[in-house]
Structure 1
Amino acid sequence: MSATTVQELELCKDGYPQFQLGKSRFDMSTFTGRYRHFLDHVDPRTLFTRQATLDEAVQLLENFKNGELQPGTTNKQLWQAQKIKQAILHPDTGEKVFIPFRMSGFVPFGAPIITGVLNHNLSLMGTVFWQWMAQSHMAGVNYANRNASKPASTSQFLLGYVGAVTTACAIAVGLRFVVDKAKNFSPATRTLVQRLVPFPAVATAGVCNVVLMRLSELGKGIEVEDQNGSVVGTSKIAAKRALKETALTRAILPAPILIIPPIVMSIVEKTNFMRRRPGLSLPVQGVVVTLSFAFALPLAISLFPQFSKVELTALEEEIQLATSETHLYYNKGL
């Protein structure tokens, strides 16, 4: 059978956009496009992919790259193959990412942990344990999905991990102590405030983690690219902006999964159904957390584009002299 060229593939009418290797099939310049992209990215169904299916997906993409596609290959098949590969294999090392640390495993493995974090009846040790679990899981996700194109500093990773765990536990324990000592709260208000305590703890820990792990970028700088993706230079100014933007993102990311469930549960538990069945509180909270994770988390991630735009005149003089572009772009990180 003769091979199919990329140009011939444009004739496929399967309702999918023209396949582009390494690109998203959604418009990443719009919020809706980014939301659909990340919603697709965290699809837990890819966790059940068989090795044979993964091998077929990798081979299909290799055939596309070499212009050796078989007649009848559709854009849908190519996009699905890329989704499977990106969900399972690390883009730099080509090795399988440990299942609990895959982005597609973030919801099923993270939801039970967050359910534990949001339990307002925890003891002191319980609070510390679940905050440690939450930060450990996040650290694992961060490390497993890191940029591995250059050697990573183990000490920098450990510094970020220890800083995040310490910060989360200290804030969670401190705030719970303050709430417990407060005398002006009604029982319902006290319960709601106790449930909201994990948000500032996790949000602050996330900021602490990213700042400690990426401090070296401030001294070395990060790459800035033109609109065609060509690297123009390395900028410390862009690194400073990227760190600020990523820190802000990390502060916002936990909001949907740590604020929505407590508010929902404070309403649900007042219903006659739940009052008669208090034992269902934890399972119902688990469902609410999972739904928030599955739909609200991609929403929070989609607020900011992955690549930020910066005016050339705001960057270092040597970079301004290296290009005639008016704007450059940098990867702010997630």
Structure 2
Amino acid sequence: MDANLRFWRAEGASFWQRLLLWADVLDPLHLLKSADEIKQARLLLENSEKTQSEPTQNQQTKEAFLLSLACVHPDTGKIIPFLFRPPAFLPVTLPLVISSSLQLQAKQIFLCQFAFHAYTTGFTLLNGNGTAKDKENSIEQKQIFLGLGAVSYAALLGAFPFIFMDRYKLKSPITQLIVKRLLPAPLFGLMSAFTVLAVRSPEFENGIEVMDRNGKVLGVSQKAGEKAVKETALSRGILFGTTFFLPAVLMYFVERRKTARTPRALASMNLLLITTVLAGMLPASLGIFPQCGEIKREDLEADILSSTEETVLFYNKGI
């Protein structure tokens, strides 16, 4: 079992522990570390005699773990490309989310959402479970093809209400409320989950590796793959659905107050709300499900059942 997964298993048992860990892992300062520093951190972990079944007390070792969690894929052991590492997720998605939330024309909304879904789909592809595609290049090619289709569909569906409203010149207050206030949050959340399901669908079609508590690979399970993908899709949908919903609701009540506010002040408040909600929801959504996922023995396929007597097996959920 990779050092990253052992660390998550040892120190990420509860939601609160995972929340605090993700808050540390997502520190943008990890992006300033060089490839040599990352390799040295991994070497330190490999040479460490400490067992990761116990909480890590050594500060140097813990910092090495955080750097490894932030920059290294647990299945392949390779360094994740710079812009697609977890610490880069917030700085890159924030301007894309803000631009997608602005009251723009339909074509502009389509382009903004296309850029957003293109990035998050690339992030999903590079941070998903890598055990299957590491062995078969055709799986990765299929994921890229599915990702392109999912990005185009998600951006088009996200802009469709605005296209429909402009096409039929629907300017009534109730239409404005539905299209600009109520629809964006569920659509954004659903499409974010949809792109995860699309690009990672080969994982539950072909299965992912499951391990015992000692890290020994016992086989490839479609059921574990399905569980991993669904958990990731749900957490992504919650993240961006909430990020669109809460600021919109709060701004609605702010705008209804009779206290005079300039458009610039309202826009600044909206940006602040989106930034605050996204920054708070990111570690919370990532921490909903354990990164080192667990699946009960009786939920697995028959060939794996016959190879072990352990009641719980483990897998990499992906991000």
TM over 0.5: yes
Q: 1: CA distance between counterparts of 2:185 and 2:113?
A: 11
Q: Which moved more, 1:298-307 or 1:129-138?
A: 298-307
Report how many residues are paired.
305
* Secondary structure class of the residue paired with 2:7: coil
2:300 counterpart of 1:319: no
2:279 counterpart of 1:285: no
Task: Indicate if the aligned counterparts of 2:239 and 2:278 stay in contact, CA closer than 8 A.
Answer: no
Q: CA deviation at 1:111?
A: 0.8
TM-score normalised by the chain length of structure 2? 0.79
Task: Indicate if the aligned counterparts of 1:210 and 1:246 stay in contact, CA closer than 8 A.
Answer: yes
Other-structure match for 1:10: none
Other-structure match for 1:45: 29
Which of these residues, 20, 26, 36, is aligned with residue 36 of structure 1? Answer: 20
Paired letter, 1:220:
N
Other-structure match for 2:125: 143
What is the aligned-residue RMSD (CA, Å)? 3.4
Task: Indicate if the aligned counterparts of 2:4 and 2:68 stay in contact, CA closer than 8 A.
Answer: no
TM-superposition CA deviations, 1:227-275 (whole Å, max 9, x none) = 33322222233333334333333332322212122122223334566x4
Which of these residues, 84, 87, 94, is aligned with residue 101 of structure 1? Answer: 84
TM-superposition CA deviations, 1:135-161 (whole Å, max 9, x none) = 112123223434455055443233332
Q: 1: CA distance between counterparts of 2:91 and 2:143?
A: 25
Which of these residues, 56, 59, 74, is aligned with residue 40 of structure 2? Answer: 59
Distance 1:126-1:289 versus aligned 2 partners, 3 A rule: same
RCO higher in 1 or 2 (8 Å CA, sep ≥ 6)?
2
Percent identical residues: 29
Q: 2: CA distance between counterparts of 1:60 and 1:241?
A: 31
Other-structure match for 1:123: 105
1:191-206 alignment to 2 at 5 Å? Answer: 191=177, 194-206=180-192
2:285 counterpart of 1:304: no
* Secondary structure class of the residue paired with 2:11: coil
Q: CA deviation at 1:216?
A: 2.6
* Secondary structure class of the residue paired with 2:288: coil
Q: CA deviation at 1:114?
A: 0.5
Unaligned runs of 5+ in 2: 51-56
Task: Indicate if the aligned counterparts of 2:291 and 2:318 stay in contact, CA closer than 8 A.
Answer: yes
Q: CA deviation at 1:118?
A: 0.9
2:152 counterpart of 1:170: no
Q: Which moved more, 1:231-240 or 1:170-179?
A: 170-179
Unaligned runs of 5+ in 1: 1-18
TM-superposition CA deviations, 1:100-147 (whole Å, max 9, x none) = 32211111221111011111x211111101111111121232234344
Q: 1: CA distance between counterparts of 2:293 and 2:45?
A: 30
Q: 2: CA distance between counterparts of 1:308 and 1:23?
A: 12
Distance 1:276-1:26 versus aligned 2 partners, 3 A rule: farther
Task: Indicate if the aligned counterparts of 2:203 and 2:222 stay in contact, CA closer than 8 A.
Answer: yes
Task: Indicate if the aligned counterparts of 1:307 and 1:332 stay in contact, CA closer than 8 A.
Answer: yes
Task: Indicate if the aligned counterparts of 1:171 and 1:200 stay in contact, CA closer than 8 A.
Answer: no
TM-superposition CA deviations, 1:43-90 (whole Å, max 9, x none) = 12323x254xx6456435524533599xxxx81222123323443455
* Secondary structure class of the residue paired with 2:268: helix
Other-structure match for 2:238: 252
Q: 2: CA distance between counterparts of 1:231 and 1:34?
A: 25
TM-score normalised by the chain length of structure 1? 0.76
Structure having the higher Rg: 1
* Secondary structure class of the residue paired with 1:276: coil
More helix by share: 2
* Secondary structure class of the residue paired with 1:269: helix
